[in-house]
Structure 1
Amino acid sequence: MKSSRLLSILLLLQTRGRMTAAQLAAELEVSVRTVYRDVEALHTAGVPLYGDAGHAGGYRLLAGYRTRLTGLSAAEAEALFLTGLPGPAAALGLGTALAGARLKLRAALPPELRAQADRIGDRFHLDAPGWYAPDDDVPFLPAVADAVWRGRALAVRYRRWKEPTEVDRRLEPYGLVLKAGRWYVVAAPGPRTYRVDQILELEVLEDGFEVPDDFGLAAHWQAYQRDFHARLHRDEVLVRLSPRGVTRLTGAAARAVAGTGTPEPDGWTRARVPVESPDDAHDRFLALGADAEVLEPPELRARLARTARTLAQRYGSGDGDTDRDTDGDGG
């Protein structure tokens, strides 16, 4: 544990420059006294690390000193190679850069970790898009990514679902998010979220912008998802589910049953399940067939009953036809 922490101190000073003992302690989640002891251990080991006193003081490495990544554990090396996602990197125009970075990292590893890291590509593969979703055509993704890096505003023509379906927008792109194989750009004003594949035209503007200091992309995306699901599932259905029906649920419905479902004496489960709309609820519970019984609202129950009667009439009109002998000569 201590050796890992010593390496972390070296890498922090190597990448960030001068840092105080308090800053190092906060980064490593240890006490300032522990940092003092670790710095003394690095001194003893011959690492050219110096401390400056005063208000602007702190620890720093001798200019030009670099450490090789020989202190990586097997798990750390494997994790680093798992983070290299060739598909998204290539989409951003960084495929060559990623390949080069992986080669440099591999060369810096000791032989035993190099062989172990090489196995990662043979054992794990990420395929982000869903089975039934075609790959999105995102011709403007590299331009959007470049605008994000350089802090340049964009003039775009964007296609949305409501009228007017095509609108012109000036965007200040704060960051990109890859979700389930689909790229989104979070941009001001707002900020709001836009699908990159729905950008029809794009011009990179000369005027720049600054991302607010209090903006965090990961925190914003988490809040956006919570709000999205809250707006998406505004209705609720009271339903009884067979054991098989419970296992067939997914997403918010499955979480609702797991969290609030009440077992009944016959082995079924009664629960309130969030739904997007009456049409969504009708199609979802109709697909469960005899493994679900909707109790409320009464309008949905009546609608499902009408659909069931229609299906019974449709499939019951040919009674007896399926009993015919089709394997022989009909005699």
Structure 2
Amino acid sequence: MARNEQLIRQHKLLQLLEFSRFGSTLEELRDELVGDLGLTKLHSRTVRRDLEALQASGYGIRTESLERGKVYKLGKTNKGVHEIGISATELISLSIGRELLYPLLGTQYWRGIETFWNKVKDALPDGVFEHYDRYRKTLHVFGTPSKTYEQHEGMLKTINRAILEHRIVEIQYAPVGKPVSTRRIEPYGLAVYQSSIYVVATAPEVQDPTERLRNWKLDRFKQAIALDEYFKPDPSIDLSDRLGRSIGIFSGEKPTMVQIRLGERAAAWVGEDPWHPEQKISPEPDGTAILTVPASHPREVLPKVLSLGTEAEVIEPAEFRSEVADAVKRMAAKYQ
């Protein structure tokens, strides 16, 4: 192990003893240390010396003889010596999750993430954190967008309050390629999809109940004002269920099952990186495969199919096939 190895071992020993209900033998502590700290070997005598050093430092570590041998326990007065008990794997996982949430930078959510992250760091001795940090550098996270929602912090707070209080929100909304319009929405929740935040809300002026609930991209909000008007939430709306029905963000009441013929390589790619948890890939005798996947709008399928080039062909339904065919024709015309 690197420098500060004794400090790192002793810190981990205190964690192991604190969370051990019935105590641990010397061998059990040694094996736990080897596994959690990524050591190749560790002698029981070293662990015993660490325990003796902790006892000399004032920690109430006591021993008790049981059938399985001599066990070490942490005295009741020393319980809670660590505000946060965290392993190397847990710290690495937390660090990765923090990086994946960079689009929330500048929002109240990010401040909560940073506050918790700083608490973790403060609860660990410097040497221990340095040890974990070395492990963290073996894994790198790429491909996350550089966008943030710092400029939308005030609107996020307004929308959050409106969701909790069931208040109607008046927004200035600017769809791509269209002028800004004033809309009234009834917000039910927020969704993060491909590093973008969407406000899931009903449009009160829409009469068709299956079309009222829509996903409004926060990037397109120019203003959001919570009005002193309230709405009665529809108890039949289950956002978790609704948002998980389709491969994209255009979730609807009844997504369409789309069939796409994939080449051999494309079938392998989609198998490695699934589009949806409920997708099915059925091999064909000629080496191709038929992908069946739920989608609520042709625009959800279009970019995924185009990214596979000639390795993918939408078979049905006709509306989805036609949308892709038209896009391919327009692209071909540009390259003639």
TM-score (ref. length: structure 2): 0.48
- Determine which structure has more spread, i.e. the larger CA radius of gyration: 1
TM-score (ref. length: structure 1): 0.49
